[in-house]
Amino acid sequence: MCNCVKDVILSVLFIAAMSLPNMGVCEERLVSPKNSIKNDLPFYDEIMQMIQSLEYSGLPVMVKPQVKLGVDFSARTWTLQNIHEYDKQGGIVLEQGRYGLCAELATYLYEKIKPLLDARFEVKFARVTEAGFFSADRSNHIVLIMANHAIHEAYLIDPSFHKYAKLKDLPEYHVLDIQDALVFVKDKSPDVSFSVDQATPLYVRGDILLSFAVTSVDGKFDRDNFLFVISANRRFKYSSLDILVVGRHNKKFEDFEYKDFLEQLLNPEEIRILEDKFNSWLKLMG
């Protein structure tokens, strides 16, 4: 089947699936082996076994010695260098075989799932909103969409949150676009770049999402005015709280930590490693 026909079929399938009534399946129902929904999900045991071992976290990767921070003040961008690692076959490598952010986890799972599938199935990447943490239309949260063309059913697999269900049964998700492959994987890029003040998620613990950003100070973004910021968002609450800040304001060193909250989310060793990383990046800024 040519790619254009496949894309049309898949698009029609997505539209049809999303237009059906939402059934509001809860997460406990998805993972319970006693529930009959298990029998409606292809390769349920195999897929759940794969995703249960994965953990949504970029922290163990970001603090590695080879990961550097590049900042372009004139372009108002910042880059995490050497954040992605690939094996000899070009596959994504997860830290300790389990840690990664959404795109890395989805890419890893995609390669694991493909050998299970026969001609009825097709899997693609999807950029989605997710009501708890990634609700904005600019969301970059990546999941997998698996289509069963034989019965015209679509399934969503989110390894970041260990969810697998029919797309119509997950009203908290909204598909923004579908991709055959992710650009950074096709290009085998080791780096990822962001605009100033744009945050990248670090990890989820309970109902809290931690994010990292390089930010401006009062609109200024130069060697004398920038901040490294760890912020926290509670699920369904869209205002963030800065809990760790290191940088410069009008040439003066500036740091801040919300100690009580920080210690609830990170252990002392994690805090020390993160602060050491920030201070090493700060010295390299000159």
For tokens 């993972």, what's the residue? 31
Q: Which carries the bigger pLDDT value, residue 228 or residue 29?
A: 228
Q: What angle do CA 28, 17, 35 make, to 5 degrees?
A: 25
- Pair 152, 16: CB distance under 8 Å: yes
* Mean pLDDT for all residues in the chain: 86
Where does the chain hold its CATH 3.10.620 domain(s)? 3-56+86-184
Nearest to 134 by CA among 107, 103, 104: 103
Residue 19 has pLDDT above 80, yes or no: no
Q: State pLDDT tens for residues 36-57.
A: 456 689 999 999 999 999 999 9
Q: State pLDDT tens for residues 104-127.
A: 999 999 999 999 999 999 999 999
CATH class of the domain at 3-56+86-184? alpha beta
